[in-house]
Amino acid sequence: MNLFSTVLKNDERAIYELRSLYKQYGYSLYKVSKFEEYDLYAENKNFLINQNVLTFTDTNGKLLALKPDVTLSIIKNIPADSSLTQKLCYNETVYRPSSESGGFREIMQTGLECIGTIDLYAECEVILLAMKSLATVSKDYILDLSHMGITEGILETLGVDGNVKEEFLHLMKGKNVQGLKKLCEKHRISSSIQTNLCSLIDLYLPIQRALLVLQEFMVGEKMQTAYENLTRISQFFSENGLDEHIYLDFSMISDVNYYDGITFKGCINGIPESVLSGGRYDKLLHRLGKKSDAIGFAVYLDRLERFEYQAAQYDVDTILLYEKETDIQSVFQKQRQMQANGKSVFATLNLDPSLRYRQLIQFTNGGIQILETND
Amino acid sequence: MKPMINVALPKGRLGEKAYAIFEAAGYECPSIHEESRKLIFENEEKGIRYFWVKPSDVVIYVERGAADIGIAGKDIILEYSPDIYELADLGIGKCRMAVAAKKDFCDFRDRTLRVATKFPNIAKTYYASLSREIDIIQLNGSIELAPILGLSDVIVDIVETGTTLLENNLEPKQTIVEISARLIANQVSYKFKNESICSICDKIHQIL
């Protein structure tokens, strides 16, 4: 463990810690191929975070894609009519365009999927694992929870469609309450619905307090069912004293064609974007002709890279400078001896001036001489 | 301890007006008025730190968390569509994004329309909504010159009073969207510094 913490970078350490965490809960590692037939993504474009996919032609003329997502590849292989629960985790590279530089990037992603019969316990277990995943990186984390039933319920009360619905969704995602009010007025939406919508989007509280506030806005069966679901989840975590990190945030909206039920996002104080996202995606499975339900999440490891990053002061502890005539057996012995003391040793014939070192040692057949010490 | 809130203000008149709102809301930072080459100004007691950045960069500072909140024009937000929260319309820096052309310009729909602009995404989205084929000519300044010299048919640009357009024999033809300055917040800062950000937001709402 000590070795891990000193040698591995944040994201690399997270890979191992998360894998062992998921294993404790019976999740088995699932390996998928680096590429898939492009059709899989073309049919489910909106499920992808970014719809640009890196494609190429196989030797037989088939259009393939370097996978932009792991979930689709996993559920494609789930038997169509099985209700048995499978718990799978993965650690894969995905290829997505970078929003800044425009070109495609290789991104390391880890995550898990629980597929089969999903009951309250399965939901809570996945949320718990999401929280534990965040906690492996930092204890100062927040898991935002939302429910598609509530989002859909409020959209139904608005009674809007097409472009107008898109406009509403855009403003809701941006917590733009003033914009929502204006849009409601433009489309002559009653003031009570307007108030409900704005309070819902503006709401950002720990789950228990949020549920108390929420109680009065819940209209219709869809919202009521969602509310009950959230209440049970809240009870499970509060009874175990784990609810302080869970917040409700209904500005977090996922695609209604794929997600239903709870959705969540994880943030860590010090990383400016969310590092984990997931939820119930039964609808995606049903679209692919499977009878099972599913819940899962992904951790974006690339976003951990810069977190609490402390640049090493030195590239290497010791530079062992030897000469052409030096006996290499004694160089080897000397290097081993210093390594045994936990030092990193860079043995070289010539000194690279850009290297930062603690100690520079010259080693000749005549003996050893310390040329420079920087500590 | 109160967390420090980093505020990105746009350089120029808009930023000064925006700072005045913060000041009136009780988040003053007297050192900002001093003549100096300093880039960052803070009032530790109030838990606030200001810095001036190029107006179009405010959204980048906020989206990437270097600033927790910032003041950005709606034009910049629409152009870059950053993942941020838009918490308040400050009602300052009011203007509109409009299509303008020479006074005698007549649009024939049988040709591709050449559009000169600093805001290619706004222009593309607008004309896509009209199903109009366009050719974007991205310029970085003096947009008004483009139709005069025949570089483009129309321009998509910010119109405040329309005087510059008139002086150059141009006129606004259609309004695309009304623009004003917005208070924006980084999505993760909003969660971890929720109390401080919401209280700034509330106080600003009170004086607007």
User: How many contiguous H segments (helices) and E segments (strands) does chain B have?
Assistant: 8, 11
Backbone angles phi, psi at A67, to 5 degrees: -65, 125
pLDDT band at A105 (very low <50, low <70, confident <90, very high): confident
Q: Do B188 and A178 touch (CB under 8 A)?
A: no
Structure token digits, residue B170: 């141009």
pLDDT band at B23 (very low <50, low <70, confident <90, very high): very high
Flag whether the ipTM exceeds 0.90.
no
- The least confident of A322-326, B50-54, B82-86 is A322-326
Mean pLDDT of A199-203: 93
pLDDT band at B190 (very low <50, low <70, confident <90, very high): very high
The torsion angle over the Cα atoms of residues B154, B160, B164 and B169, rounded to 10 degrees, is 50
pLDDT band at A100 (very low <50, low <70, confident <90, very high): low
Model pLDDT, residue A300: 92
Nearest residue in A to B66, CA atom: A272
Q: Which chain B residues have a beta carbon less than 8 Å from that of A247?
A: 191
Structure token digits, residue A294: 């599913």
Model pLDDT, residue A364: 80
Distance from the Cα of B145 to chain A's closest Cα (Å) equals: 31
Distance from the Cα of A250 to chain B's closest Cα (Å) equals: 13
- Between chain A and chain B, the number of residue pairs with CB atoms below 8 A apart is 47
Task: Transcribe A151-199 into DSSP letters.
Answer: HHHHHHHHT--HHHHHHHHHHHHTT-HHHHHHHHHHTT--HHHHHHHHH
Nearest to A273 among B88, B188, B190 (CB): B188
What average pLDDT does chain B have? 93
**What single-letter amino acid sits at A85?**
T
Q: Which residue has the tokens 């969602």?
A: A226
Q: Which residue has the tokens 């509530």?
A: A150
Nearest to B186 among A174, A176, A272 (CB): A272
Does residue A6 surpass a pLDDT of 70? no
Query: H helices within A82-119, ranges in order?
Result: none
Q: Do A174 and B85 touch (CB under 8 A)?
A: yes
Does residue A4 surpass a pLDDT of 80? no
Q: Who's near A26: CB < 8 A, 6+ residues apart?
A: A87
Mean pLDDT of A322-334: 88
Tally Cβ neighbours within 10 Å of residue A213. 13
Query: H helices within chain B, ranges in order?
Result: 13-24, 58-63, 74-80, 120-129, 145-148, 163-167, 187-192, 194-207
Query: H helices within chain A, ranges in order?
Result: 2-7, 10-24, 38-43, 71-76, 120-137, 148-158, 162-173, 177-186, 191-202, 207-214, 220-239, 282-287, 328-340
**Of B6, B80, B86, B204, which to mutate for an interface test with A (greatest number of A Cβ within 10 Å)?**
B86
Q: Do A179 and B86 touch (CB under 8 A)?
A: yes
pLDDT band at A343 (very low <50, low <70, confident <90, very high): confident
Nearest to B86 among A175, A204, A272 (CB): A175
Q: How many CA atoms lie within 13 A of A333 on its CB side?
A: 8
**Of A177, A186, A246, A264, which to mutate for an interface test with B (greatest number of B Cβ within 10 Å)?**
A177
Model pLDDT, residue A172: 96
Helix axes B13-24, B194-207, angle to 10 degrees: 100
Mean pLDDT of A53-70: 91
Mean pLDDT of A14-42: 92
Tally Cβ neighbours within 10 Å of residue A65. 20
DSSP run (H or E) holding B36: none
Model pLDDT, residue B71: 97
What average pLDDT does chain A have? 90
Q: Are A263 and A233 in contact (CB under 8 A)?
A: no
Q: Is B3 exposed, middle or buried (0-12, 13-18, 19+ CB in 10 A)?
A: middle
Higher-pLDDT residue of B66, B2: B66
Nearest to B191 among A174, A178, A247 (CB): A247
d(CA A314, CA A292): 53
Does residue A224 surpass a pLDDT of 70? yes
The SS3 call for residue A350 is coil
Mean pLDDT of A256-261: 87
The torsion angle over the Cα atoms of residues A295, A111, A142 and A243, rounded to 10 degrees, is 50
Does residue A186 surpass a pLDDT of 60? yes
Q: Is A104 exposed, middle or buried (0-12, 13-18, 19+ CB in 10 A)?
A: middle
Please say whether the dihedral angle defined by the alpha carbons of residues A324, A325, A329 and A332, taken in this order, is positive or negative: negative
Q: What is the DSSP letter of A353?
A: T
Mean pLDDT of B119-140: 94
pLDDT band at A1 (very low <50, low <70, confident <90, very high): very low
**Of B191, B199, B204, which to mutate for an interface test with A (greatest number of A Cβ within 10 Å)?**
B191
Nearest to A274 among B66, B89, B188 (CB): B188
The torsion angle over the Cα atoms of residues A237, A242, A245 and A251, rounded to 10 degrees, is -10
Distance from the Cα of B39 to chain A's closest Cα (Å) equals: 22
